[in-house]
């Protein structure tokens, strides 16, 4: 599982970063994925799913 941000859709609300700051970060008005390896992703998988559900514009997908 790897989260991906659709920058065209992202409105930079910051919800994902506040739910899961180890994986998402706001930069230049858009979210980006900062998690470098699978361990961080695995550790935060519940928070990542919360962020997917909480994103107001469905900009986060899981691959
Ligand atoms: Fe962008 Fe969605 Fe994250 Fe908000 S929750 S910053 S819209 S990806």
Token pair belonging to 48:
């990542």
Q: Render pLDDT for 13-54 as a digit per residue (tens, 0 to 9).
A: 999 999 999 999 999 999 999 998 999 999 999 999 999 999
Q: Render pLDDT for 43-52 as a digit per residue (tens, 0 to 9).
A: 999 999 999 9
Q: Atom 1 of ligand 1 has which residue's CA nearest to it? A: 10
Render 6-31 in DSSP notation, one character per residue. -TTT-----HHHHH-TTTEEEETTEE
Centre of ligand 1 from the C-alpha of residue 36, in Å: 19
33 or 1, greater pLDDT? 33
Q: How far apart are CA 33 and CA 62, in angstroms?
A: 12
Centre of ligand 1 from the C-alpha of residue 11, in Å: 6
**Residue list, ligand 1 pocket, CB within 6 Å:** 5, 10-16, 31, 55-57, 59-60
């Amino acid at each position: 599982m790897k989260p991906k941000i659709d920058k065209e859709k992202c409105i930079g609300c910051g919800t994902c970063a506040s739910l899961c700051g180890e994986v998402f970060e706001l930069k230049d008005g858009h979210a980006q994925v900062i998690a470098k390896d699978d361990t961080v992703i695995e550790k935060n998988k519940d928070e990542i799913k919360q962020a997917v559900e909480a994103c107001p514009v469905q900009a986060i997908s899981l691959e």
